[in-house]
Structures are given as structure tokens and as C-alpha cells.
Amino acid sequence: MKKQYIKPGRRSVSVLLAAVCVTTMLAGCGDTAATEEEETLSEVIPVEAQMPVAGTLTLTNEFVGTVSPEESVYVIPMVTAEVLSTGISVGDSVTAGQELCKLDTEAAEIQLASAQAQYNSAAAGVQAAEVGYEIAQAQYDSAVAQLDVQNEQTQRQKDLTMYQMQMQIDGISDGIDDINEQIYQLEEDREDVKDQRDDLDKARKQANNYVKQAQEAYQAAQAAVTALEPQDYAKLQEVKAQFPDEAAYEYALKQAKEQLAAAKAAYEGAQEAASQTNAAYEQAKAGIESIDDGKEKLEDSLSDTYKTKEQTETVKNLTEAQLNIDTRQVQDISKKTAALGVDSAAAQVNSARVGAAGAEVAIDSAEYQLDMYTLTAPIDGVIEAVNVKEHDFASPQSPAFVISNKNTMTVTFGVSEGIRSTLRVGQKIQVDRNGKLYDATITEIGSMVDQNTGLFMIKSCVSTPDDSLLTGSSVKVTAETYSQTDALLIPYDAVYYDDSQPYVYVAENGMARRRDVETGIFDMDTITVLSGLSTEETLITSWSANLREGAEVSVQMKTDGEQITAGEEADGAQTAGGE
């Protein structure tokens, strides 16, 4: 790992001077100088040493910042008018809503009076239109009441006729419901018979299977009897010869004939059962067909009943239309005529109200304009600039006052991309204005490079400002930037370099031993070691021209007051190419 910072050490100059002296001595003394050098190398070198300490090193950087209020507003007149009075000066403290100056309101007052007169005229028009509307509404109500009396008598006769026809339709509907109920019942019966038919079909197939099995058993029994009692005498004798005696043969023949009789009876019983099952199955099929025929007849009857109902409803609708046609047109025309008068009066009322609302808006506008002739402070703060005076004309083209809220001041400063990555929002920093220090907190870290400076802008907040922090003034900002924790802290002058490789010397058993190390950040006095050295080793901190690998050393440990302690911080270190 390369060293992060480059800083020339005092030891480098000493090494160069020593090298020059040695070269001169060698050139002037020859072999005698070489002999003296060997004697010098054999001498014990007195060195100072200390134990490395683990800790944290934090660097700080200084920046130039600019002070500005956290909140600043421009009070701009909304109208052009003569300034009548103003009692505000630069540096005065004001509160939100406080009057700053008054402008000449003569033109605005004339406009407000004109708007008020127009509104009064429009309000009178609204009252007249509302009276006309009430008269038209009364005429409409009277006409509707007369028509209602006529309608009542006609309606009674119409209701009686419609009731009678509706009763007829309801009767047909009840008939439809009855037919639907019968169809539903038939469908349920059909499902029951269908289930019985399916069960009988299974039983029929099983019975037929039993007949086949019984027939096979019967035929087998017949074959057994025939085998024991053949017609040919010679064969009969051969069969009998297979038995021990005549009694055994007779017994076997008897058993075979008994089995034949049982098989025959079983076969005939199976045939009878199959015949009965087949008959029941056919009867179930006939029952389903009968139900289907009955359902078809009911559906035909249902269709005819629906047609009858539709015809009756058509007659009812025609009768109702005929009863209404005589009076409806006359009544509608009368009501529409009366309603037109009401609608016309309502339109006049709405038109008058719109005119009054427009006049009221004109009043609000004139009052709003009048309020613009008094300038007030929008925030609490301090007057930074006053650009108007009495008898001059204020104009919207330029601000009359500039007010800043200085309860909290903002300090803005620029940093490089490398420094930006070390800062964080909420970090505490210090602001210096002519030797007076203020605590501040970073509130915003810019994410875009400023085109003029090439830096990232950082904003910080000073929560306890005073009169020394003037708007636009420059201050010095000090912030902690680079930091390394859990590193060894050793004196900067204890590190040597072999080309780009840093190394140190440690004392081990009275001898100097080189340790290549990896270094980190550093300041004027301290450097961090990331690897290559431990807190258990004795670090040589003093310089000697004869100090090298294997040299004998006499170690003198530093006192506690001179040792570097963990967590010690150094101020004011500059990075290579820093801010």
C-alpha cells in the first residue's frame, strides 16, 4: 500500500549531510578512513526507543466559508404608488406582520366604492327576481292542484278496470305455477324411476350371469352322470372297474344324480329370477317413457298458458293506454305551460344572483388591492436593505425591503471530492471569524461540482450567531476529515524509506532490526502503521548515521510524558495537493 501523504522529514536533510561528510572523509583519508569506519560500526549505538501505541489519528482541514442568513426574503410592492410613510431603517428588527410602509390608496379606495355601488344595484335586482319567481311558483301550484282533482276521479275508474284485468293475469300465472310444479314433480319421479331402472339393469345383468353359471354347473353335472352311466355296456363295465366294489359305484352314481338334480333346480331358479328381473327392468323403462310423455303434454300446456298470459297482458296494456290517452296530453300541456313560467322566473333569479356574485368578487378584488398599499414583514428578522423613502414611488420592478432571519446563520464552503467523501451531515465543525469561534453543524453536502470553483459546496448551520457574523463575510472553517482507527501510532521521524518502501528499526536482544511496514495517514509529529509492527516491539525513535540492520544498540526508553498515547489527535495537517 502506498503512503497516502507526502511530507519531507527533517531526518532526510540530516542523512544527506552525513552522506556528504562521509564521502569527503573517504576521499581525503583513504584506507585510514575505511579503518576508522569499521571501528565506528563496531561501536554500540545509543538510541532512544518506545513501545508503539494502538489508537486513532484524526486529521483536520481548514476552508474559507461565506456567511449568509438561513432565511432571507425580498418585500416587493404589488402596485405602483407614492410612498406616504415609512419608519423602518437598515438594522431594525421586525416581526412577521409588522407594518413597514404605507402607499397612497386614493385610486384603490375609488375602485372599492365603485364596486360597492355595483353590488348594491345587483342585490336589488336579485330581490325583484325572487319576488317574480314566487308569483310564478304560486300560479304553477294552483294549476297542478286543479289537474290533481280531475285526475283523482279518472284514476279511480282506471284503477278498477286495471284491477280486474290484473286478477285475470294473476289467475293465469297461478296456473303456470301449478304446471311448473307438476313438471318439477314429474322430473323428480323420473329421476327416481331412472335410478330404479339402473339398479334393475345391474340386477338383470347379474341374474343373467347367474343363469349362465347355473347352466354350466347343470351341464357339468349331466356330464358327470353320463360318464358314470354310459349307454354302452362295455364302457359301463370299465367305469365300474374303477371302483372297489359295486356299492362304491352305486354310491358315486347316486351322489352324481343328486348333484345333477340340485344343479337343474338351481338353473331353473336362476332362469326364473332372470325372467322376473328382466320384466321389472322393462316395466321401469316403460314407466320412464310414460313420465316423458306426461311431461311433454304438460310443457305443451305450459306453452299455451304463457301465450294466453301474454295476450291478456297485451290487452291490459292497450286498455291502460286507451284510458290514459284522453287526459294525459291535456294535463301535460297544462303542466308544461305553468312550469315554463316557473323556469323563466328561476332563470331570472339565477342571472341576478350571478351578477351579484360578480359584483361581490369585484369588492373582494378591490379590498385585496387596497391591502397591497400597506407593506408588512412576512417573517421575523432584521432589515438588511431599504430601497424606498417618503414621496418616492414604489414599484413592483424592485424590492422595497430585504429582511433576513439571523436567528440561525448558514456558512457555505467548498471542498474537493476526496474531502467531501469524509464529511457527513450532522458532523460538528468550528467557524472562526476574526479569532472568535462558533460551533456549527453540517446540514447539507453538495452532490454537484460548482462550475466556477470546481469544488463541492457544503452548508453548515451556526445556531448561536451574534453581530460579528455579518451577511456575506468570510470565515475560516475547521473540520475533521481523514481518520484511521485501530492503528499503531508512532513518531513520524521514526520511519525511513527504501525507495518507496517505508520501514522502521526495532531493538531486539541489543541489536537493531529492520521492519518493513505499511503506513497510513500522518501529521507533523505522528504517523499510523497499518501492518508490519506490533505493540510488543521496542521501536527505535532516534536517528543515527550508523543505524542499520544488525547494529548493536544501547536502548534508552522514553518517559511516559514523552510517549504517544492512544487516541491522541493532531491539528492542522495538510494533505498532498490539499485544500
Same-domain status, 543 and 491: yes
Q: Residue 75: name the closest of 101, 107, 108, 105 by CA.
A: 101
566: confidence class by pLDDT, cuts 50, 70, 90: very low
**Mean pLDDT of all residues in 447-462:** 92
Same-domain status, 295 and 200: yes
At residue 464, the 3 state secondary structure works out as coil
572: confidence class by pLDDT, cuts 50, 70, 90: very low
pLDDT tens for each residue of 223-238: 988 988 888 888 888 8
What contacts 514, CB < 8 A, 6 or more positions away?
A: 503, 504, 505, 548, 549
Answer with the residue of higher pLDDT: 286 or 390: 286
pLDDT at 321: 79
pLDDT for 338 beyond 70: yes
**Mean pLDDT of all residues in 362-367:** 82
Rounded Cα distance between 47 and 7, Å, is: 24
Q: Residue 419: name the closest of 481, 470, 479, 362 by CA.
A: 481
Instruction: Identify the top-confidence range among 107-116, 180-189, 546-555.
Output: 546-555
Contact between 394 and 59 under an 8 Å Cβ cutoff? The reply is no
Asked if the structure places residue 567 within a domain, the reply is no
pLDDT at 483: 86
Rounded Cα distance between 63 and 75, Å, is: 34
Angle, CA of 254, 258 and 259, to the nearest 5°: 120
Contact between 455 and 415 under an 8 Å Cβ cutoff? The reply is yes
Asked if the structure places residue 35 within a domain, the reply is yes
| DSSP 8-class letter at 552 | B
Asked if the structure places residue 574 within a domain, the reply is no
CA-based max dimension of the chain? 167
pLDDT for 577 beyond 50: no
Enclosing H/E stretch for 44:
none
Cell numbers representing residue 516 in the block: 518493513
pLDDT at 30: 44
**Mean pLDDT of all residues in 515-535:** 93
Rounded Cα distance between 558 and 564, Å, is: 10
**Mean pLDDT of all residues in 153-158:** 77
pLDDT at 467: 75
Same-domain status, 168 and 199: yes
Answer with the residue of higher pLDDT: 79 or 519: 519
Rounded Cα distance between 477 and 411, Å, is: 9
pLDDT for 56 beyond 80: yes
Rounded Cα distance between 88 and 385, Å, is: 10
Q: End-to-end alpha-carbon separation of the chain, Å?
A: 24
Same-domain status, 170 and 214: yes
Same-domain status, 82 and 66: no
pLDDT for 119 beyond 70: yes
Asked if the structure places residue 572 within a domain, the reply is no
Same-domain status, 379 and 255: no
- Containing structural domain, residue 406: 10-75+400-562
329: confidence class by pLDDT, cuts 50, 70, 90: low
pLDDT tens for each residue of 201-258: 999 899 999 899 999 998 998 998 898 888 888 888 888 888 899 888 899 889 988 9
pLDDT at 31: 46
pLDDT tens for each residue of 303-328: 999 999 899 889 888 888 777 765 66
The mean predicted confidence, pLDDT, of the chain is 82
Same-domain status, 222 and 301: yes
Asked if the structure places residue 227 within a domain, the reply is yes
Asked if the structure places residue 2 within a domain, the reply is no
Answer with the residue of higher pLDDT: 415 or 41: 415
**Mean pLDDT of all residues in 133-150:** 80
387: confidence class by pLDDT, cuts 50, 70, 90: confident
**Mean pLDDT of all residues in 114-131:** 86
pLDDT tens for each residue of 74-102: 889 888 888 887 878 887 888 888 888 88
pLDDT for 27 beyond 70: no
Residue 241, CA distances (Å) to 229, 234, 236, 237 in order: 13, 11, 9, 6
pLDDT at 541: 95
What contacts 256, CB < 8 A, 6 or more positions away?
A: 221, 224, 225, 228
Asked if the structure places residue 579 within a domain, the reply is no
pLDDT at 93: 82
Q: What is the CATH number of the domain that holds 131?
A: 1.10.287
> What's the number of domains the chain is made of?
3
Q: How many residues does the chain have?
A: 579
Half-sphere exposure of 43 (CA within 13 A, CB side): 13
Same-domain status, 156 and 284: yes
Same-domain status, 299 and 380: no
Rounded Cα distance between 217 and 223, Å, is: 10
pLDDT for 576 beyond 70: no
Question: Using H for helix, E for strand and C for coil, what is the string for 305-368?
Answer: HHHHHHHHHHHHHHHHHHHHHHHHHHHHHHHHHHHHHHHHHHHHHHHHHHHHHHHHHHHHHHHH
Answer with the residue of higher pLDDT: 519 or 88: 519
Asked if the structure places residue 570 within a domain, the reply is no
Query: What is the DSSP pairing of strand 496-498 with strand 474-491?
Result: unpaired
pLDDT at 326: 59
pLDDT for 32 beyond 90: no
Same-domain status, 269 and 191: yes
Same-domain status, 395 and 412: no
Q: Residue 578: name the closest of 461, 491, 457, 455 by CA.
A: 455
pLDDT at 367: 78
Cell numbers representing residue 458 in the block: 457544503
Q: What is 124-187 written as a DSSP string? A: HHHHHHHHHHHHHHHHHHHHHHHHHHHHHHHHHHHHHHHHHHHHHHHHHHHHHHHHHHHHHHHH
**Mean pLDDT of all residues in 63-84:** 85
Q: What is the CATH number of the domain that holds 486?
A: 2.40.30.170
Q: Left if phi > 0, otherwise alpha if psi is -120 to 50, otherwise beta: which for 499?
A: left
Cell numbers representing residue 43 in the block: 561501536
Same-domain status, 260 and 281: yes
